[in-house]
């Protein structure tokens, strides 16, 4: 089972390194996607969702025991599978965690390590979590208050978004609600 790290004083899990130039990535991300944090619905979505992208509703049923945890584990596991399978020559992602340290994730090393923990999960569980290719062309943007996950870029749409769409409701496509097209 994949778990997220709760003790940030612990050593980094296998495949994770501290991102030394995180301010540069935050500046690039903000410039490209217009990132504007906010906890109220009037500020959502917190980015200009790119084309192509699909944003999923992560709201878990409250009346089913284990619903949130099972979704959390499934989304993280599927994202890891797609990161490794779609980017076999360079499975490295930049990971941004709002108001915290950023990281580089070697998804192949992370996946090959038994019982490893996520330093920052793909599934947002309390902060904005962003997984990006170095050129910002592909990735995910997790919004904890809207309870959404935006998947963008051709390869991740063909894999991660494709499989998530089999069981998660679609909230937006290319930044637009499906019923408003």
pLDDT at residue number 11: 86
- Cα separation, 30 vs 124, in Å, equals 18
Average pLDDT value for residue range 148-168: 97
Contacts of 25 (CB under 8 A, 6+ apart): 19, 94, 96, 102, 132
Mean pLDDT value across the chain: 92
- Cα separation, 178 vs 113, in Å, equals 39
**pTM listed for this prediction:** 0.92
Contacts of 137 (CB under 8 A, 6+ apart): 153
| Comparison of pLDDT for 156 and 7, the residue scoring more | 156
pLDDT at residue number 97: 96
């Amino acid at each position: 089972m994949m778990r997220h790290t709760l003790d940030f004083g612990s050593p980094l899990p296998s495949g994770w390194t501290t991102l030394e130039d995180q301010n540069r990535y935050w500046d690039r991300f903000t410039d490209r996607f217009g990132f504007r944090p906010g906890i109220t619905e009037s500020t959502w979505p917190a980015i200009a969702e790119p084309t192509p992208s699909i944003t999923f509703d992560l709201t878990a049923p409250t009346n089913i025991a284990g619903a949130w945890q099972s979704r959390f584990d499934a989304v993280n596991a599927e994202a890891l599978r797609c990161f490794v399978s779609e980017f076999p020559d360079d499975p490295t992602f930049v990971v941004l965690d709002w108001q915290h340290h950023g990281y580089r994730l070697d998804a192949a090393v992370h996946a090959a390590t038994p019982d490893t923990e996520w330093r920052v999960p793909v599934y947002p569980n309390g902060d904005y979590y962003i997984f990006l290719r170095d050129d910002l062309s592909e990735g995910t943007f997790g919004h904890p208050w809207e309870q959404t996950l935006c998947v963008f870029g051709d390869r991740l749409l063909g894999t991660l978004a494709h499989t998530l769409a089999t069981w998660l409701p679609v909230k937006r496509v290319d930044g637009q609600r499906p019923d408003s097209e």
